[in-house]
Amino acid sequence: MDGIIPLYKERGMTSNDCVFKCRKILKNKRVGHSGTLDPNVDGVLPICVGKATKVVNYLMDSGKVYFGEITLGMATTTEDLEGEIIAQQRLAKPVTAAAIDEAMQSLTGNLIQIPPMYSAIKVKGRRLYDYARAGESVERPRRKITVTYFKQARAATFDNEQGQQKIYFEVGCGKGTYVRTLAVDLGKKLGVPAVMSELTRLASGGFKISQAVKLADLSAAAVKGELEQYLFPADHALTKFPHHKLTEEQWRIVQNGGFLLPRYLQDEQRPFIVLMYAEKARAIYRFNQAEERYQPEQMIDLTEGEK
């Protein structure tokens, strides 16, 4: 079994929990996910199975969309509600929608982000959360991220009794973006402590949440022998690249890891190209400018197939 399953990760589970359960359901050890979701976050988690595990990195490079809630007036150690409160500030009045919009707009584009201490990024061989739990400090790496858009999804609400304001947002962002850190940075722009209080991933790897399947439904489909309905081909992760349908002769060359000259591909000279045979993505080839030829970048499926 090979392909990509748009899984709906429920809250309370780690991404690795999902991979473990999928291995049992699918009876396949070659299973991997394409981008970690924290246990308290739900939403789309593309799962790669079999030969499709070779395109995990291409899925991870795709953009993601989230819907969530930011609470103004408090901050925590983890930047979400899982951590201990480290700052509180009662808001005398709500922040205006215009001020929120302006602050959100300033957090779009190509940015430098410092990841939270409670994250799985490694520094000197240790996870940042290991340093945090041990009460140790360490310099965190600055990371380049891209935020395509950051906007209010609906009108914010204000709690007079608590002196807190909730902002409901949608964000489109690239690989490596910590949305909870984005929430904290929004609070800094507005001059108040902030925390990400809710988060759902609406889209990832080209899949929308409406396409996502729950583990229970996946398990039921396995019992009925109907898993194929949830499997997407590996090529789903490669739609941004140009494609070329191989001839029989070219297919034999590719199976042996051989080079292809531009004249074989209508003199195209694209940085990367997906090679198709028998309606399947077989390999990704990279154009070597110095040698003026295409060479293997990632082999995906070199098994025989009907023409």
Instruction: Please list, in sequence order, all residues whose beta carbon lies within 8 angstroms of the beta carbon of residue 52, skipping any fewer than 6 positions away.
Output: 2, 3, 4, 233, 234, 237, 300
Going by C-alpha positions, the residue among 261, 248, 251, 306 that lies closest to residue 283 is 251
Secondary structure E strands in the chain: 3-9, 31-33, 42-49, 64-72, 74-76, 85-88, 109-113, 122-123, 126-127, 143-159, 164-173, 194-204, 207-208, 243-245, 272-277, 280-288, 293-299
38 catalytically annotated? yes
Strands 143-159 and 109-113: antiparallel
Residue 265, strand partner residues = none
Catalytic one of 2, 17, 38, 217: 38
Give, in order, the Cα–Cα distances in Å from 271 to each of 143, 240, 259, 266, 288. Answer: 25, 12, 14, 15, 8
CA distance 294 to 287: 4
Going by C-alpha positions, the residue among 185, 109, 181 that lies closest to residue 146 is 109
DSSP 8-state secondary structure symbol assigned to residue 11: T
**φ, ψ (nearest 5 deg) of residue 220:** -65, -40
290, exposed or middle or buried, with CB in 10 Å at 0-12, 13-18, 19+? exposed
Going by C-alpha positions, the residue among 88, 82, 211, 72 that lies closest to residue 152 is 72
Give, in order, the Cα–Cα distances in Å from 107 to each of 46, 77, 202, 266. Answer: 27, 22, 20, 43
Residues tagged active-site: 38
